[in-house]
Every structure is written in structure tokens, then in C-alpha cells.
Amino acid sequence: MNWSTQITTLLGTAYPIVQAPMFGVTTPEMVAAASATGALGTLALGDLPYEKCIAAIAATKRLTALPFAVNIFVNSIPEVSENLRSHYSKVRSFIATLAHQHGLEVELPKFEDIHLTDYREQIAAIIASECKIVSFTFGNLDEPSIALLKENNTLLIGTCTSVAEAQILEASGIDIICVQGLEAGGHRGSFHATAIPRIGGLSLLSQVHDHVDKPLIYAGGIYNARTLLAAKQLGAAGFQVGSLLLKSRESALLDFEKQHLSQVKESDIVLTRSFSGRFTRAITNTFIKIVDGTDYILPYPYQNKLTNALRRAAKAKENTDFVGIWVGQSIHPYREGSTGDILQELIREVEEATGC
């Protein structure tokens, strides 16, 4: 297979493969290992504040001089109101009681103690750190941010979950569009937090390819040669892999979480707002079953901030019923070993399948 595409040209990589920005799973070591294979490593900054963005980027640069991307969340921040404060207090009390009932002692943050990050401060950190590839999700960057990043010769990769979102990104001058299928693990990259498009990946990819004139990266269910080549056939010039790397040596998942992956069945993988307030594809557990469909869900990012402490307490006790493990719909024997070995094995499979 000829790996040279518009994506490799733009990114400066040997392969059009992108390591997914899995916030909470990706580590600087994973990013460096992915880039070392000739793929594009992606450092997930999520909603980290300025200082932590600077530190994470610096830690990654100490490990690699090769190109890597940074990924940020560009969600809108809910307006503070008495209704929001009251709802937060109600959910906080509910989660505290639930945790106690299940043997988890946790101190949940008060409303006034929560820090919310404006993505513009992350952009300042990215520019200060001289990162030249930025991907983003949960919406589109505002025009001044796009202009500022372009002035600093930054390549921009936006995420879409519908044709309409892809067209918005194209009209804004975004360089590359990542098409996220419904089967992808982790958070939905949809512009709207709750009214998400529910479009299967291959159908979406084909439609986006027909409607926009930008190089496309496909994300959702790629774990072997067949799935990668199917995406290529439908118009993808790049291929993003995430769940494939969950059990890698560099993954931030703990051993008990990695072991839990080996037991997952297709019926265990659900879309849920219970942990973060935005739809996430994850392995179902007690917390999800209790909270989904109830009023005990705050808008993102408040729900996410509130459940972070719960998840940390559950990790400390190796309790899979109260941790969030994001995973895509493609069930497969999650590969172990280094990130580099896993990606090189995927590359070899594709080359063997295509005879070159």
C-alpha cells in the first residue's frame, strides 16, 4: 500500500495514522511512541488550565522531537445561575450517598471550588509552546482563535459527527476534518452536548467525502487492516485509532481496568451522559445503570468535574462499577505491548492485505 496521502504531506509523517487524543488514557510516553513509528501522536489536553498544558507539552517534547498534535475541548461553558447551583447541590448529595453505600469515601468538590477552563487560555499555552498541529472537539473554534493560530502557522484539525458540522468546519478554514463515527469510543465530538447526530461511521464518512473538499481522517472502529481499508475506500486519507491502544504499555489505564477490557461484550458498550454530562461511549457499570435516564446529570463540564473525585476513589479500590472506561464498539482482543509495536503490527497487516 502506498501510504502517502494529503494527510502525510500536511502532517509530515510517514503514515496517515493518528493516535487518538484519549484524555485520561493518553500519556506523553504514548504520544512519543506513536510519533516514533511514523504516525502522528496526539497529546490530549482536554480542559486542562494554562499551566498544566504548558507542563504536559514540555513533558512530551522531552521525549520526542518528532511532530505531534495537541487536542483541546472547545465546549461552551454554562452560564452560572441559581438553578445550576441548586441542581449541582442535588447531584453532589446524591453521588456522595451513592458512593458511601458502595464503600467509597470521597470528598466531592463544592460548586464554588470548581475551575472551568476557557479554551482560549489553552491556545495561549499552545502558541507559547510552539505546537504546530492542533486538533479540537465539541464544536468549532471562534474566528479570532482560528486567525491567531493561523498567524502562528498552526495546522488545524476539527472533529465532525455530521455533514452539517463538517461544512461548518470547512467554511471556517479548518485544514483537516476528523470524521467521528457513532461507533467510536470516548466522547462524542458533536457540536451540541445532548442533541447529538447518531450516524454510523462509514455512512457518515462517505457523505462527508461527497460534501466537503478537505482531507479527511476517519475515527471509529478501526482496529485491523480490514477496518482501515474500508475507511480508505470510502474517502479517508487518514485513520485515527484509539481503542486499539487502550491496553498498551503507555496507556494510563490501570492494570485492573485493562483486565476488565478482556471481559467486555458488545452489549456492554453504551452511550452515556452519566459521567460527564456529554455523551460518551463506555463500558456499562453500576454507576451508569443507576444514573442514566435520571435528573442526576449536570451539564458538561460540571458533571465531569463532580464525578472525577468518584472515579479516583473507585480506581484506588479497583472498583470497575464506578470508573469510566471509554471504548468503541469494535470488540477485539485488545493488543498488549508497546504503542509502537501495536501500531507497527497494524501497518504490517495493511501492507500484507494489499500486497505491498
* pLDDT tens digits, 141-177: 999 999 999 999 999 999 999 999 999 999 999 999 9
State the Cα–Cα distance between residues 134 and 138, nearest whole angstrom: 14
User: Residue range 279-298: average pLDDT?
Assistant: 98
Q: DSSP label at 293?
A: T
User: Residue range 110-121: average pLDDT?
Assistant: 96
**Could you tell me which CATH number the domain at 1-77+116-250+337-356 has?**
3.20.20.70
Cβ neighbours around 306 below 10 Å, total = 24
Residue 333 — pLDDT band, cuts 50, 70, 90?
confident
State the Cα–Cα distance between residues 101 and 243, nearest whole angstrom: 32
| 62 pLDDT more than 80 | yes
Please state whether the predicted TM-score (pTM) of the whole model is above 0.85. Answer: yes
Cα distances from 165 to residues 137, 152, 219, in angstroms, run 11, 25, 15
| 356 pLDDT more than 80 | no
Domain with CATH 3.20.20.70 in the chain: 1-77+116-250+337-356
